[in-house]
Chain A
Amino acid sequence: MALTETRSHDAPSLAPAAEEPRAEPTVLEQTVGTADHRRIGRWYVILSLVFAALALVVAALANIHQGTGTLLDADLATRLIANNPFDLLLASAFPLMLGLAVYLVPLQVGAPSLSFPRAAAMSLWAWLGGVVLFTVAWLADGSYGGNNLKLARLGPLSIGLMATALCVGVLCVAVTVFANRTEGMTLGDVPFFSFSMVVTAILWLTTLPVLLASITVWQIRRPQTVDLKGDAFAAVQWFLHQPAMFIVAIPVLGLFADMCAGSARHRQHGYGVVQAGIAAFGLFSFGAWATTATAESTLVYSAFTVGLGLAALVVVGSSADTLRRGRFEVSGSVAMGLVSVVTLLLATAIGVVNAVSTLGKGDLFTNVRGSFVDATAGTVVGQLYLVIGATVVMGAAATFHWSRPLFGHVVPKGVGLALAPAALVGALLFGFGQVIVGYGTPDGDAYKVLLVVSAVGALLVGLVSMGAGIAAIFGALGGSHEQVDRVEGGTLEWIAAKPSRSANFDEPLALVAGPYPLLDLDESATKGESR
Chain B
Amino acid sequence: MPDKFESLRLELLRSGVSPVYVERTIFELADHYADLESAALSAGLGADEAARAASAAIGNERAIAAAILAHPELLSFSTRHPRVAQCLHSAATIGSLPGLPLMFCIEHRPELARWGAAVSVAATLMGSVLAMLNWLIVLPF
User: Do A and B come from the same complex?
Assistant: no
Enumerate chain B interface residues (CB-CB to A < 8 A): none
Binding site for B on A (CB under 8 A): none
